[in-house]
A = this chain, B = another copy of it.
Amino acid sequence: MSPIPVRASLAGMCRWMAWFGQPAQLSILLFDSPHGIVDQSLHARMGAEPTNGDGFGLGWYDAHDLPGVYHSVAPAWSDPNLRELAAHVESPLFLAHVRAAIGSPVQATNCHPFRHGRWLFVHNGYVERFAELRRDLMLLVRPDLFAAVQGSTDTEVLFHVALTLGLEDDPLGAMEQTIGTIEDLAERKRIPEPVQGSFGISDGETLWAVRYASSGRARSLFVSADVDTIRRLHPDNARFSALGADDRLVVSEPFSDLPGVWEPVPESTALTVRRGGVCEHSAFAPRRRPTIWDQRARDSSDWLRMAGDKLLGPD
């Protein structure tokens, strides 16, 4: 039997969006925006593949300690529960993701955002020839995090490597080390152009976004302009009247085509969006020297050698 086929185009064309600002009804951004994220599940424009129908995910922060997460294997466009949820939940900071699977199963555990404690993580893109890298990457995940990997996507493993490398203390630094490590492994296995994507990360206080590709053009990424700019460009557009100075949207594909509203994030760049609408750009450069590996290597080889000794033993 032939395995489930990979899409003609390997370009995993997921789409995601993040809102950070005043508490907003989710439905306004998910459903009521022209060419919003749910519309993009059916009609994405900026990629070879217009359909993102392999599941959906939503993560939102509210008054509770942990963010809520909703994952569905139904296409976003046809899930009645998503409409209900979006009509009843408000949040000042949330991420949404529509998935176009590249070979891996359509199941809730493969839907973004992935969550660890207060952290949420979304990704549009891929790790090239992930099947060949999966074992090595899983081996590098902190042993006590290993069992938390429940699905089979590249993104979830990448997230847990980043957690291992200190995402909770320094998200952008950990991402630089994570991607550097993947590129290092890939080089040893002669896998070209291993990492491609845009990433969204949050702990509920800050929103980070990364645009990066090992080579070639990275997945698109946009941030909304500041409100003054938007209003000056489109003084008569009623949609922008409710927008406040603190509101920022980060999206992998613009919601509409209004000029000046969406600023492209440059390649190899990270965004840090803080409360109050502050949005900082910084260079993003993978780093290949995670000192933690030494310890992991010693731990694992010790155990394996010991296990081997013992198991082999005097037969």
Interface size bracket, A side: 35 or more
Taking a contact as CB atoms under 8 Å apart, the answer to whether A69 and B84 are in contact is: yes
**C-alpha gap A141/B74 in the complex (Å):** 32
Taking a contact as CB atoms under 8 Å apart, the answer to whether A289 and B313 are in contact is: yes
Residues of chain A in range 192-221 having any CB-CB distance to chain B below 8 Å: none
**C-alpha gap A138/B147 in the complex (Å):** 10
Return A285 CB to nearest CB of chain B, in Å.
15
**Which chain B residues border A184 with CB–CB below 8 Å?**
307, 310-311
**C-alpha gap A297/B297 in the complex (Å):** 12
A139 interface hit (Cβ, 8 Å)? yes
A107 interface hit (Cβ, 8 Å)? yes
**C-alpha gap A294/B310 in the complex (Å):** 9
**Which chain B residues border A294 with CB–CB below 8 Å?**
308, 311-312
Interface residue from B27, B51, B296 paired with A304 (Cβ < 8 Å): B296
Taking a contact as CB atoms under 8 Å apart, the answer to whether A68 and B51 are in contact is: no
Return A61 CB to nearest CB of chain B, in Å.
10
**Which chain B residues border A89 with CB–CB below 8 Å?**
88
A66 interface hit (Cβ, 8 Å)? yes
**Which chain B residues border A301 with CB–CB below 8 Å?**
297, 300-302, 304-305
**Which chain B residues border A88 with CB–CB below 8 Å?**
60, 62, 64, 68, 89
Top 3 closest A-B pairs, CB basis? A301-B301, A297-B308, A297-B304
Which A residues are within 8 Å of any B CB, using their own CB?
1-2, 4-5, 27, 31, 42, 50-51, 53-54, 60, 62, 64-66, 68-75, 78, 80-81, 83-85, 87-89, 101, 104-109, 130-132, 134-136, 138-139, 141, 143, 146-147, 149-152, 181, 184-185, 288-291, 293-294, 296-298, 300-305, 307-308, 310-313, 315
